Structure 1
């Protein structure tokens, strides 16, 4: 009986590692005439709506976020205000720097270490470690954040949240810069 449990656990870990190794690389996206650059897109107001799904794909939370971006030369601040469907309101303030090669580094209150972002074509990948407070317990999770620009106003974002190399949640957002006069409180 214990051997069966051991074999199932080993099979799960092996499968998880195999699946996590089958991912798209940023370099696979072809250059486009107007590449997606977060400095341009996140300058001013942007609103987004999103969901958080657990490892079974069940939607656990819905939210709206208001973002105000401001830049001085290559230094930027993205002030985010999240409105969750359960009434929680939270904040994150990104401090970003655009490097000479076009990549970005940054940090925020709940980010451990440095976030690293790169773009290619219409895609932007942002990787960082996030400190989550879950009912009083602090958990560090790896975030693999992908943004895909649809047009000058709209961006889709998918973020894989992992612990020990195993995906535990996924976050999906839809950004719309065209509706800047709308607020999350009106939703």
Structure 2
């Protein structure tokens, strides 16, 4: 192989590996997975959530517990959330979920709204998975910044949902939230 071709081949290989590492799973990859996540059923009534917040290095910076209450009327959902963090901070968020058309691949779509979410959130459901993308206003050093959130939720039993959230700013990962949501009576 000529010497000039080797650097070009190495660059192409490195670019291909980088792009492959950056790709994420598509929601349709979960369409056959069970148990099937039906938001109108899972997010109904009392739920609890328990999780951690990590910084960009992966260090756990906070823990939290939350009480959630879900209700549905005329096809639209309301999920009321109350988070209590280990430092005593309390946060509230009310999500409104409005159904939109199911696409030609069988993915159910919703539009989500919340007071600290900039614009509408894109919600997609297929099989046991629910993906939500949105921009969240986050308190930071006495101010508020906007952070892109990529929520990936997976129903692992009829009562337990695991959620991983990647937080990014300007395309760079700045943190992660990992939580478990449990459906049913609160203690």
Q: Say yes or no: TM over 0.5.
A: yes
Q: Does 1:141 align with 2:141?
A: no
Unpaired runs of 5+ residues, structure 1, are: 1-13, 183-187
User: Which residue is equivalent to 2:186?
Assistant: 181
Q: Does 1:23 align with 2:34?
A: no
Q: Does 1:57 align with 2:58?
A: yes
Displacement after TM superposition at 1:139 (Å)? 0.8
Once residues 149 and 103 of structure 1 are traced to their aligned partners in structure 2, the CA distance between those partners, rounded to angstroms, is 17
Displacement after TM superposition at 1:18 (Å)? 4.4
Unpaired runs of 5+ residues, structure 2, are: 1-14, 103-107
Q: Does 1:76 align with 2:82?
A: no
Larger radius of gyration: 2
Counting only pairs closer than 5 Å after superposition, residues 80-119 of structure 1 correspond to structure 2 as 80-101=81-102, 102-119=108-125
CA RMSD of aligned residues (A): 1.7
Q: Does 1:167 align with 2:173?
A: yes
Length-normalised TM-score, structure 2: 0.83
Length-normalised TM-score, structure 1: 0.83
Once residues 97 and 66 of structure 1 are traced to their aligned partners in structure 2, the CA distance between those partners, rounded to angstroms, is 22
Q: 1:87 to 1:106 in 2, by over 3 A?
A: same
Once residues 36 and 133 of structure 2 are traced to their aligned partners in structure 1, the CA distance between those partners, rounded to angstroms, is 19
